[in-house]
Amino acid sequence: MHRRRVFYIPGYDPIHPRRYRELYRKEGAAQAEISGYSLALAPKRTRGPYGWHAAAEMDGLRSEADIEVLVWSDIVRGSMEATIPGTYWLLLKTAWVYIATGALRRLMRLRKGPVIAALYPVGMLLLQALLALLLAWGLARAFGVLAGFAGVGGTLAASIGWVLGLAAGYALLRWFKRRDGKFFAYYLMHDYAHSAASRGAIPPEMDARMAEFRTLIRAAMADNSLDEVLVVGHSSGAHLGVSVLADLLREGLPAQRPALGFLTLGQVVPMVSFLPRAGRLRADLRYLSQQGELAWVDVTAPGDGCAFALCDPVAVSGVAPEGKRWPLVFSAAFTQTLSPERWKQLRWRFFRLHFQYLCAFDRPGDYDYFRITAGPLTLEERYRGRKPSQSRIDVPVSKFTSVAAE
């Protein structure tokens, strides 16, 4: 029986972690049926964060895993509490940070998709503001005309018209915000603003939470009944995982310990590592890329417009050392691992595609999230001898390459 402990670090997500359990249950069952193995979920058997237990039989071998979500959704929710005017102020500050530092221009040299995704909330929020102003102007103008017919004119009528118009315009902005589950403008704006607020430095509340994550992983590494401890970082969770594991390895690991794996999915590391005060993250990327005490695999896909697909996060950040080992960068190849029918259904659902790494593939290749997290092979065993994608981007692009923490 192969035993594993999995720590999943979500991206910028305000939702309760039960969402990830339900996603794992539903998509795991679908993948098991497609691939011909068994996968069953049960309540978690370990202390600590929210999680679940998975038992599997794959290729005639049995394995089990305790999967836990390292929660920072409360920090996300706190960062999303800005008012409508506050969000527009964040828009201005965030745009200024990425433009004035030159980070936006250099990010565009990598992949256009995630840069377009970053510009989308700016454009959508400005469009919403324009529509609100047009509504305010239209109502003020209409009120002025009606007031003129009624024999009322002058400054008073104009003032009343603009008060009514601006109130209607603000009501329209509130309507857009309440329906942001369809537009994702406020959500994405707060996501990028969270990274840009400190120009790449790790905020104190996030640093404290990452120390808690490190404590949990360190305790698991001392459990000799395990065959592997696997850390999975998705989206923004990827660069959090880099710093958590770098600090863990600097502190030292037990002599007798399970294998340590690090899987990054749909990473957006350059959005932070290209900022001027991200010296600590760049130092952690450089350090982790040299370590022989873990296996680091980075999986993205060009079909995911929200990720820096096939961009080696260490190399493009300009901190690749001479003895670089990691990460192994390859593609989940959505256009090949999803049938034409399924790809047609998902192609324009950009946010859903960003989560495809955690879902079932109806034409699976050598990437299978459920085999990795619940199967009988460690991450290193599974991808030993795997060649990186030839189309990966592994040249230095970042303007800022200092590894001095601020």
Q: What share of the chain is helix, strand, coil (3-state, %, to 5)?
A: 50, 15, 35
Expressed in angstroms, the distance from the first to the final Cα of the chain is 46
pLDDT for 123 equals 93
Tell me, what CATH number does 347's domain have? 3.40.50
Going from the C-alpha of 278 to that of each of 39, 200, 317, the distances in angstroms are 40, 4, 10
Contact status, residue 54 vs residue 373, Cβ threshold 8 Å: yes
Residue 394: half-sphere exposure toward Cβ, Cα within 13 Å: 16
Nearest to 249 by CA among 279, 371, 241: 241
Contact status, residue 259 vs residue 378, Cβ threshold 8 Å: yes
Residue 354: half-sphere exposure toward Cβ, Cα within 13 Å: 20
Instruction: Quote the DSSP letter at residue 2.
Output: E
Instruction: Quote the DSSP letter at residue 311.
Output: B
pLDDT for 79 equals 87
pLDDT digits (tens, 9 = 90+) for 190-245: 988 888 888 999 999 999 999 999 999 999 999 999 999 999 999 999 999 999 99
pLDDT confidence tier of residue 271, bands split at 50, 70 and 90 = very high
- Tally of domains in the chain: 2
- Average pLDDT over the chain reads 92
Residue 151 has pLDDT above 70, yes or no: no
pLDDT for 406 equals 63
Domain match, 91 and 238 both: no
Domain match, 43 and 182 both: no
Q: Render 78-109 in DSSP notation, one character per residue.
A: HHT---HHHHHHHHHHHHHHHHHTSHHHHHTT
pLDDT for 23 equals 96
In a domain, residue 22? The reply is yes
Domain match, 154 and 221 both: no
pLDDT for 317 equals 97
H or E stretch covering 39: strand 38-43
Q: Is the peptide bond between 204 and the residue preceding it cis, with omega within 30 degrees of 0?
A: no
pLDDT for 106 equals 94
Identify which has the larger pLDDT, 116 or 20.
20
Domain match, 88 and 69 both: no
Plot region of 333 (φ>0 → left; ψ -120 to 50 → alpha; else → beta): left
pLDDT confidence tier of residue 74, bands split at 50, 70 and 90 = very high
Of 9-23, 30-44, 147-161, 310-324, where does mean pLDDT reach its minimum?
147-161
In a domain, residue 124? The reply is yes
pLDDT for 49 equals 86
Q: Single out the residue in 159, 194, 229 at which a domain terminates.
A: 194
Q: Which two tokens stand for residue 35?
A: 């691939």
Residue 149 has pLDDT above 60, yes or no: no
Coil, strand, or helix at residue 326? coil
Residue 159 has pLDDT above 80, yes or no: no
Instruction: Quote the DSSP letter at residue 291.
Output: -
Give the whole-number percent of the chain exceeding pLDDT 90.
78
Domain match, 336 and 230 both: yes
Domain match, 127 and 254 both: no
Q: Which domain range does residue 128 map to? A: 79-194
Give the whole-number percent of the chain exceeding pLDDT 70.
96
Computed on alpha carbons and rounded to an integer, the radius of gyration of the chain in Å comes to 24
In a domain, residue 294? The reply is yes
Contact status, residue 97 vs residue 196, Cβ threshold 8 Å: yes
Q: Which two tokens stand for residue 137?
A: 């102007």
Domain match, 297 and 218 both: yes
In a domain, residue 397? The reply is no
* Measured distance CA(147)–CA(157) in Å, rounded: 7
pLDDT for 117 equals 83
pLDDT for 394 equals 93
pLDDT confidence tier of residue 70, bands split at 50, 70 and 90 = very high
Nearest to 274 by CA among 240, 315, 218: 315
Domain match, 152 and 93 both: yes
Domain match, 63 and 86 both: no
Residue 263 has pLDDT above 70, yes or no: yes
Residue 146 has pLDDT above 70, yes or no: no
In a domain, residue 406? The reply is no
In a domain, residue 389? The reply is no
Domain match, 214 and 309 both: yes
Domain match, 44 and 95 both: no
Residue 145 has pLDDT above 80, yes or no: no
Domain match, 179 and 309 both: no
Q: How many residues does the chain have?
A: 406
pLDDT for 148 equals 59
In a domain, residue 234? The reply is yes
In a domain, residue 14? The reply is yes
- Give CA torsion, residues 76, 80, 86, 89, to 10 deg: 50
pLDDT confidence tier of residue 119, bands split at 50, 70 and 90 = confident
